[in-house]
Amino acid sequence: MMVRNWMQANPTVIPSGMLVSEAKRIISENNLHALPVVDNGKLRGLITRANLLRMGSFVLRTQNADEFNFFVTRLKVRDIMVRNPATIHANDTMEHCLLKGQELGVAQLPVIDQDQVVGVISANEIFHLAAHCLGALERRSGVTLAPVRLGPGVLGRIVDVVEAAGAVLQAVYPIGRQDDQSEWDYPEKKVILRFHADAGQDVVAALEADGFPVIESTEMQHTSGPH
């Protein structure tokens, strides 16, 4: 999965000389999480919703008319932006993007292609990716298996059991911490399965009968109303 296929493309960008109060208006009215700051086609910084909210809250708490006037009429984006923000390339993988965001502790990354800002990856895009992968946008049933050592053929065996129980398998996600494993060991991971089936309990029974304990299961939702 490439970043360019999941990013918010053609993002709104602002110049460093814009008033902070105007940047705050743009973010609020367009429900954005971040605004790349671009001068003469080059990325100079990043303004985030969180930074603007903190700044606005501070000014309001001071109850100082002069500071409020300065915030509204004089404070520029360049004065508070994150300079030289971390970026991601449009041709990077989403896996690399997630790892970079986690390592740096940032929730917004401008996306660069040929030195131009072509998109933004924020929490919205990450949540959308997670929803897509876990089948939240579809009516899927699912089970999570207790940690299993994923030696040769184990995933194939799990798939065979699920399909033999009458399910149409949609996705398989082994989940675990790689750093908990020796480089010589087969990893031991939980396995999340998403599938279409009228009777998810049949899949659960088949898996457990074959030695794969199920620690949680969800049934396909047949209505679109609240549950």
Q: What does the angle CA 10 – CA 12 – CA 15 come to, to the nearest 5 degrees?
A: 125
The percent of residues in the chain predicted with pLDDT above 90, rounded, is: 41
Element (H, E) at 2: none
pLDDT above 60 for 223: no
pLDDT tens profile 94-113: 889 988 988 888 889 999 99
pLDDT above 80 for 2: yes
Residue 118 backbone dihedrals phi, psi, to 5 degrees: -115, -5
Q: 3-class DSSP state for residue 195?
A: strand
Do residues 152 and 187 touch, judged by C-beta distance below 8 A?
Answer: no
Residues 6+ positions from 28 with CB-CB distance below 8 Å? none
In this structure, which amino acid lies at residue 131? A
Hey, where are the domains in the chain?
A: 3-131, 136-218
Do residues 171 and 141 touch, judged by C-beta distance below 8 A?
Answer: no
Q: Which of 7-11, 50-54, 69-73, 80-84 has the lowest mean pLDDT?
A: 69-73
DSSP lists the bridge partners of residue 61 as: none
Determine the pLDDT at residue 226: 41
Buried b (16+ CB within 10 A) or exposed e, 93-129: ebeebeebbeeeebbbbbbbeeeebbbbbbeebbeeb
Determine the pLDDT at residue 225: 43
At the second CATH level, the architecture of 136-218 is 2-Layer Sandwich (3.30)
Label residue 224 by pLDDT band (50, 70, 90). very low
CATH fold group of domain 3-131: CBS-domain (3.10.580)
Residue 138 backbone dihedrals phi, psi, to 5 degrees: -125, 170
Please report, for residues 71, 126, 167, the alpha-carbon distance to residue 94 in angstroms, rounded to integers and kept in the order given. 37, 9, 29
Mean pLDDT of 152-180: 86
